[in-house]
Amino acid sequence: MNELNNLNGSKFLVSYSIVSHGQGQLIEALLADFREVKYLHELIITINIAEDLDFLAKFNDLPIILIEKLNIKGFGENHNSAFEIATGDIFIIVNPDIRLPKYDENILLDVFKQEHVGAVAPLVLNSSGGVEDSVRRFPTFFRLFCRTVFRIKKSDYVCNDIIEVDWVAGMFVAFRVKAYKSVNGFDEKYFMYMEDADIAYRLKKKNWAVKIQPNTSVVHDAQRASKKKLNHLWWHINSAIRYLLKNW
């Protein structure tokens, strides 16, 4: 594949944003994968809990920008802060528990040659190679009720080709900088959960498309914190209520 160019004929500059809440071990493995990524303009790592950062010395060859914010912030606020200093054309948010064994940045970013595309995500696989439930229709009370009470997890989309979708889960999402700016980034009133659905909803209202590119993939070793800790469960419920009251 030819080198990916933006609409002005120059190479895309890609800014990646990772937030760590004491997840240095996961990030160390992820950074090793980033050595194979071609369009790595800058890699912004936000440290939100004090931790040993000695492992970063192994990655002096990577264009890392370190932000240390030791007063804990929410998912959206941390990524918005990274966006403020990002200088790329494309802004990609990445969870620490992502791995990139088959990630092809060229294939993913090629979707942005369509001017109306505001965000795109790769196919997300679990550690066993199965397809994760990361591509969904917008939440409604009925859908959330079915997923929570009846544990109905049927996929909303069949992703065999590039398609437009309602929203993609925020473990790995690429945003066109212009689109991200047009909606003022993530709504920081969500502390965690549902902010990915919310930003996609606002992008749609601004006539930006959200797409899935299944011809490249990342691996997500999901932590499933919502099921393990009561505070995460509360954040999830609170965010779902906020989303429904705000958007429906």
User: pLDDT digit string (tens) for 205-232?
Assistant: 999 999 999 999 999 986 644 445 656 5
Give me 119's structure tokens. Answer: 């965000």
Helix-strand-coil split of the chain, %, nearest 5: 35, 25, 40
User: What's 145's DSSP letter?
Assistant: H
Q: Are 173 and 76 in contact (CB under 8 A)?
A: no
Dihedral of CA 92/213/199/237: which sign?
negative
Give the list of residues 6+ apart from residue 51 with CB closer than 8 angstroms, or none.
20, 22, 23, 24
User: Does residue 240 contact residue 147 with C-beta atoms inside 8 Å?
Assistant: no
- 11 pLDDT band, cuts 50/70/90, is confident
- Domain ranges for the chain: 14-247
Task: For residues 144 and 223, give the distance between their C-alpha atoms in angstroms, rounded to a whole number.
Answer: 20
162 phi-psi bin (left φ>0, alpha ψ -120 to 50, beta other): beta
Residues 92 and 71: beta-carbon distance below 8 Å: no
Provide the token pair at 21.
Answer: 């809440």
DSSP secondary structure string for all residues of 58-108: GGTTS-EEEEE--S---HHHHHHHHHHH--SSEEEEE-TTEE-TT--HHHH
| Model confidence, pTM | 0.88
Q: Which CATH superfamily is domain 14-247 in?
A: Spore Coat Polysaccharide Biosynthesis Protein SpsA; Chain A (3.90.550.10)
The answer to whether the beta carbons of residues 117 and 208 sit under 8 Å apart is yes
The answer to whether the beta carbons of residues 223 and 179 sit under 8 Å apart is no
Q: Are 112 and 12 a contacting pair, CB within 8 Å? A: yes
pLDDT in tens, 88-143: 999 999 999 999 999 999 999 999 999 999 999 999 999 999 999 899 988 876 66
Question: What would the mean pLDDT of 151-177 be, rounded to a whole number?
Answer: 88
